[in-house]
Structure 1
Amino acid sequence: MGCLVPFIVNAITLMVVAGFFPGFHLDGIGATIIASVILTGINFFLRPLLIILTLPITVFTFGFFLFVINALLLMLTSALMGDAFVISGFGMALLAAIIIAILNVLIEHFIIKPFAR
């Protein structure tokens, strides 16, 4: 259950962002599932290392540099996926990272926590 929830939340947020922004494109449900698996794995293994390495910058920017890290990880996921997952540029990745973070907080607070009791 520990990895299943982040995977499902990533899949939902990727689909929502892809539905609203033309610079963020996923080729269907299959690409969404694969992108979600890759993003969940990257977030599990690579993100903590990047956060530790960039801790001084993150503290100096009051945590806003975490959005840059998330945008870079989204771009890495897009690069690993090829044409099935396309992000038009860093600006779009940064906007998507911010929206995905907001959606993750909302899903966690209003959907996951009430049913976890």
Structure 2
Amino acid sequence: MKRFITLILVNVASLWLIDRVMRTMYIGSANTLFLIAFILVILNATLKPLMKLVFLPLTFFSFGLFSLIINAAVLSIAFSFAHGSYMMGFHTAIIASILLSIVNAAINSYLE
């Protein structure tokens, strides 16, 4: 349970920072921010491994670059569940997922 809450809080901090940096992404309120982070943790634990398994051959032949598309799709799905937030296009989701990975890794390395 503690790990689950830590993951949510790390995603909240990362999403808040990315929202401040990117103009093509908008999160309306703190409640929406926490909801997106919660949904993102759930999707990363359930849907993302399934998508990686299904698209394993495509990921293999693209030398792992297709995993960027999977990450962007999961982020877009999380945003679609939260009212009061939006992303302008799939290219924004790709850039945001790259930034989210970098910021999450930095925060997790600081916490450990």
Task: Calculate the TM-score normalised by the size of structure 2.
Answer: 0.93
- The aligned residue for residue 112 of structure 1 is 111
- Measure the CA separation in 2 of the matches of 1:96 and 1:77: 12
Q: What letter is aligned with 1:57? A: L
- The aligned residue for residue 97 of structure 2 is 97
Aligned-residue CA RMSD (Å): 1.1
- The aligned residue for residue 66 of structure 1 is 67
Within a 5 Å distance, the mapping from 1:1-117 to structure 2 comes to 1-82=2-83, 84-109=84-109, 111-113=110-112
- Measure the CA separation in 2 of the matches of 1:75 and 1:65: 15
- Measure the CA separation in 2 of the matches of 1:45 and 1:60: 24
Identity %: 25
Task: Calculate the TM-score normalised by the size of structure 1.
Answer: 0.89
Quote how far apart the aligned CAs of 1:49 are: 0.4
Aligned length: 111
Deviations 1:47-102 (A, max 9, x none): 110011111111222222111111111111111113x1100010000000000011
Q: What letter is aligned with 1:100? A: L
Structure 2 segments unaligned to the other structure (5+ residues): none
Structure 1 segments unaligned to the other structure (5+ residues): none
Structure 1 segments of 4+ aligned residues over 6 angstroms from their partners: none
Secondary structure, aligned partner of 1:15: helix
- Measure the CA separation in 1 of the matches of 2:66 and 2:17: 23
Q: What letter is aligned with 2:97? A: A
- Measure the CA separation in 2 of the matches of 1:101 and 1:61: 19
